[in-house]
Amino acid sequence: MINSTLCYILRGNDVLMLHRVKKKNDINKDKWIGIGGKFEDEESPDACLLREAMEETGLTLTSWCCRGIVTFLNDCCEGEYMYLFTADGFEGDLKECDEGDLQWVSREFLNDLPKWEGDQIFLDLLWQEEPFFLLTLRYSGDTLTEAILNGKKVR
């Protein structure tokens, strides 16, 4: 299992999203996701978060919170433990990202963008200020086949 971070940077009612259109052989191709990435050797979740935020956006996060852990399972790739964060404080200017196009998107518009089906589950939890949660999302290719939230099947 891979360890990674996924972060939604907030600015008022807007969320910084990454439209994954630049990487080759990308399981996230054409989807809109938060920013983040894989841990480096012996890296902690928050160190990974801060490094990935700087690398992908050029922003230095000044206020963030770990909101949950998402176990992502897919029969097409290696499994992943994603430490899910939100950030509401940052400094710096956005830079171009080599993985896709960064764009501030309103929460309402975000619902209509192409993304992993299970992302809507944890985005709803984030917007509802749900306390720390554990979510398992099982996919077959692009199809969500099972979702388990805090030990209870929700799909």
Query: For 94-148, what is each residue's pLDDT tens digit?
Result: 999 988 999 999 998 988 898 999 999 999 999 999 999 999 999 998 899 999 9
pLDDT at 21: 72
User: Whole-angstrom Cα distance, residue 152 to residue 155?
Assistant: 9
Q: How many residues does the chain have?
A: 155
pLDDT at 26: 66
User: Quick check: 6 and 84 in contact, CB under 8 A?
Assistant: yes
Query: For 14-71, what is each residue's pLDDT tens digit?
Result: 999 998 777 677 677 788 999 999 999 999 999 999 999 999 999 999 999 999 999 9
Query: For 62-97, what is each residue's pLDDT tens digit?
Result: 999 999 999 999 998 899 999 999 999 999 999 999
User: Quick check: 66 and 83 in contact, CB under 8 A?
Assistant: yes
Q: How many domains does the chain have?
A: 1
Q: CATH number of the domain that 63 lies in?
A: 3.90.79.10
For residue 9, give its domain range: 2-153
User: Quick check: 63 and 85 in contact, CB under 8 A?
Assistant: no
Of 34, 40, 30, 33, which is closest to residue 59 (Cα–Cα)? 34
Pairing of strands 133-140, 60-74: parallel
